[in-house]
Structure 1
């Protein structure tokens, strides 16, 4: 082989590697909740940026967290954790810091939903949607005015008929609220008290569901239980008799945020995707599609009046003030919650 031909082969190999690298850069791998992005948005993002999207879904924070941890924060460029999972994952080194200088559309966000305790300064997360977990009810079967509180779910007449979300912290928050304790307690005695109360609820529970909790309501399998507010909005498209109740003890509040795994391969593409999703018109379409509130203040004027004034999507300030956001409670308390959670589920 001559020096010239060797140079040509090396140059060709280098060009091939450069092409592979360029193709790899023009991609973003997203791991998101099921049914959590409007139809056509991913294709529009690719058209606008040239970045291809690989899209995967999960059914719970626990599933997402476990996968990211097992894969050493590799394999995905975007994840969408809820509230306290942001601080938990950041504390464990699973999230990369957000470069806010790359997010020109950050200005559209309502500052009241930024700088929360689970991510001071939004170093690791950018809010996508926010919502609540309250009580779902089929008003064709149960008089809505007869249910006002979490405590009503303990009535023995609901034996073997309730749905609970398959989420340890949400279920414990319900019991803690009844007992006047914080959702974020680390006190072993308070956690045990909540466990003991929940044990008395288990005979009333038919199922746990955090995939699409509206579906058992729509199928007529359950008429009462826990549900996310956006699931009620989606259910009402076919069954307006499915309704939502803010419990008197206080509703469960949460924010789902975009985050970037620490060892993501396409961090620049991830920032471009987040910035695209922060466009007011995209945020407004997201509300219409998934039924959850947007933190995007400039998207609100793009919503129709009925949606903008729907109290299921946008609760009053009084309801928000009485609710509580979850925070990371640390490894020791988390282990205790999980221990009692497994005991509850195996007792059914």
Structure 2
């Protein structure tokens, strides 16, 4: 097997994270093993997807929480121990490019017909390499005890000198993928033309109190008012609000927020392929995606999904209206340019 550039970059860390499963968790006929991030994501997959699928079909799905499903897939290439796993769209693109994913026809997963094709992870010949279960979005989280939501009506406000020492920021690996992309759009460019976005990112970086290393740290910074605002994930703010932290609010600036599609993929050579296709088709349906929204705030990808009155009140609009405010970039280009973009951002930050 040819070792790819990304496999080399994963190195020992990826291999260590993907040690062989205990025999009790090995893939078995009639049971789906799904690799998921931990915490709230695992709970969502259990309650919204796995348990209902088991009740409907009689086939068990076990959610196995791991630090990085992509690393598991790479370490187990040629001998997959999981049937499916969740990932970001960029991770899905990289796995697909490295020929590590099982592909399916649309006839095998017909529920994908109810999801806009621009959100599909597909090969050049049109086969599905991943299923889109839901979205989050990347906007600006504001502690309303420290600032007004109106203070961040534009992404450009993050570069305003008045916020010196008052903002939070994530690491360059995510800045390259998310922050730079949406800041470039705000500056009149896009993921292909990022010069203006880099200038805005530089201005924001000058205002940053702390570059956080984890989502837990970012949550704490916002909740305690250590920062007034920072670019952040909608589902994290949803979780804070559900926990009673109602003074942290999500702002979609006038230029829009960045749509973050997730994908569920199956490793190449997966066992029980027919059952896996049935599971993937279930994931692509409206009902489990609606349950996922109720549990953790993920936006359904299916055009047939409808918001309950309670959900509509929380998000202030329908799913269709919300999706219309979100920017979907070319994730393939972003994934291909990521290494170079991270290096450029590292250099920019070092020169501040």
TM-score bin (small chain) = 0.7 to 0.9
Q: CA RMSD in A?
A: 3.4
Which of 282, 307, 310 matches 2:311? 307
Which of 218, 225, 232 matches 1:227? 232
Residue 175 (structure 2) pairs with residue 172 (structure 1): no
Tell me what 1:202 maps to: 205
Deviates further, 144-153 or 337-346? 337-346
Q: Helix, strand or coil: the match of 1:264? A: coil
Tell me what 2:20 maps to: none
Separation in 1, partners of 2:60, 2:258: 36
Which of 20, 31, 35 matches 1:27? 31
Larger Rg: 1
Tell me what 1:288 maps to: 294
Q: 1:66 to 1:282 in 2, by over 3 A?
A: closer
Pairs aligned (count): 314
Tell me what 1:162 maps to: 167
Residue 131 (structure 2) pairs with residue 123 (structure 1): no
Separation in 1, partners of 2:316, 2:94: 29
Shift, 1:93, TM fit: 0.5
Shift, 1:307, TM fit: 0.9
Q: Compare relative contact order (CA 8 Å, sep 6+) and give the higher one, 1 or 2.
A: 1
Q: 1:210 to 1:259 in 2, by over 3 A?
A: farther
Asked if structure 2 preserves the Cα contact closer than 8 Å seen for 1:151 and 1:178, the reply is yes
Asked if structure 1 preserves the Cα contact closer than 8 Å seen for 2:189 and 2:196, the reply is no
Asked if structure 1 preserves the Cα contact closer than 8 Å seen for 2:119 and 2:132, the reply is no
Asked if structure 1 preserves the Cα contact closer than 8 Å seen for 2:27 and 2:83, the reply is no
Q: Helix, strand or coil: the match of 1:234? A: helix
Shift, 1:315, TM fit: 6.2
Separation in 2, partners of 1:266, 1:247: 45
Q: Deviations over 1:212-269 (max 9, x none)?
A: 5544322433330111122222211212221111122332112112211224344344
Tell me what 1:94 maps to: 100
- Alignment gaps of 5+ in structure 1: 1-19
Tell me what 2:154 maps to: 149
Q: 1:247 to 1:52 in 2, by over 3 A?
A: closer
Q: 1:342 to 1:29 in 2, by over 3 A?
A: farther
Separation in 2, partners of 1:126, 1:312: 27
Q: 1:284 to 1:338 in 2, by over 3 A?
A: same
Which of 256, 262, 265 matches 1:259? 265
Tell me what 2:65 maps to: 56
Separation in 1, partners of 2:119, 2:198: 28
Residue 342 (structure 2) pairs with residue 333 (structure 1): no
Separation in 2, partners of 1:69, 1:268: 23
Separation in 2, partners of 1:256, 1:217: 25
Asked if structure 2 preserves the Cα contact closer than 8 Å seen for 1:51 and 1:269, the reply is no
Q: TM-score, normalised by structure 2?
A: 0.75
Equivalent residues in 2 for 1:93-112, closer than 5 Å: 93-103=99-109, 105-106=111-112, 109-110=114-115
Asked if structure 2 preserves the Cα contact closer than 8 Å seen for 1:115 and 1:122, the reply is no
